[in-house]
Amino acid sequence: MAKDKSAGKRYYPTPALEKGLDILELFASTPAGLTVSEVARRLNRTVSEIFRMLLCLEQRGYLAQSANKERYQLTLRLFRLGQEHPPTKRLITEALPTMHWVAHELRQSCHLGVLDGGHVVILAQVDSPESTGFFVKVGSKVDLMHAATGHVILAHQDEDSCQRAIEEWELETKKKKPADLDEHLAKIRVRGYERRASYEVTGVVNISFPILNAQGNAVAGLTVPYVKRIEDNIGIPEIIVTLRKASRQISEAIGALSPVEEEEQKAPKRATKRPPKALPE
């Protein structure tokens, strides 16, 4: 196929690949699963061509049939592949030891989340050592605007990245950005962390700190879904102190500057004085 020199990007149609990706994206947005006819109808395809694609995706482990063989559902294969991506794998590897320390110190669960389109995906999670508590499952997806983790990431990204994430959320949800979002993110930036009652569970307060990369942008959020137990002697102030320390430790492990290095960069460089030239005799 001849390249269109006037086009900004090359484009070579690949119908089979595009069909397979359409199917995976459809299943990703439909947790309850779909029948063959439902997939065909939503994608405006014939049942026969969709059936062949579903069989292939099932054989490759991306889809699985329900117990009654009537519906297909997405497996965790895509999620596992995402975890094997080098930056993600390194983030999890560096974060888990610190997360175990957090859970032990605070007697609360903690989790690590990243942005994925209009959602936050939980990459890693550590249970509380206590017999009771609250936790969020690894692989869970939460609406970006209903997640403390999502808000703290948005607040600590550069303007372009933040705007792109919000636009993806608007595109996926068909909703408009909350009117108070900019003001809310500004408060998080000043405070350095998010502290907010859960949008989904009464009695849970989510406290979230950003995980920063070498450029100072948030790539993840470390969150404790705090649940007050009757005999707890560890409260929100202690959680904030511990999470601040933990988030810095993980951030530095993946390349972020330490507070000392940040101050050194901000400090104006002193001009080196040259010795005066000798006067001619």
Residues 37 and 50: their CA atoms lie apart, in Å, by 8
Torsion region of 95: left, alpha or beta (phi above 0 gives left; psi -120 to 50 gives alpha):
alpha
pLDDT one-digit tens code per residue, 103-129: 999 999 999 999 988 899 999 999 999
- Cross-strand partners of 34: 72
pLDDT per residue as tens digits for the range 178-198? 999 999 999 999 999 999 999
Contact 221, 196 (CB under 8 A): no
Specify whether the CB–CB gap between 113 and 121 falls below 8 A: yes
CB 120 within 8 A of CB 146: no
Helices (H), ranges, 73-180: 77-84, 86-106, 148-155, 159-173
Looking at the DSSP assignment, which residues form a beta bridge with residue 111?
A: 125, 223
* Res 2: pLDDT: 44
Helix (H) / strand (E) containing 72: strand 72-74
What is the DSSP track for 135-165? ---TT-EEEGGG-HHHHHHHHTS-HHHHHHH
pLDDT score, position 147: 93
Mean pLDDT of successive 10-residue stretches along the chain, which has 281 residues: 48 84 88 90 92 92 86 81 69 94 96 91 93 85 93 94 91 92 96 92 93 92 92 91 97 84 65 52 46
* Whole-number pLDDT of residue 172: 87
Task: Check residue 278 and give its pLDDT.
Answer: 54
pLDDT for position 1: 42
Q: Are 94 and 250 in contact (CB under 8 A)?
A: yes
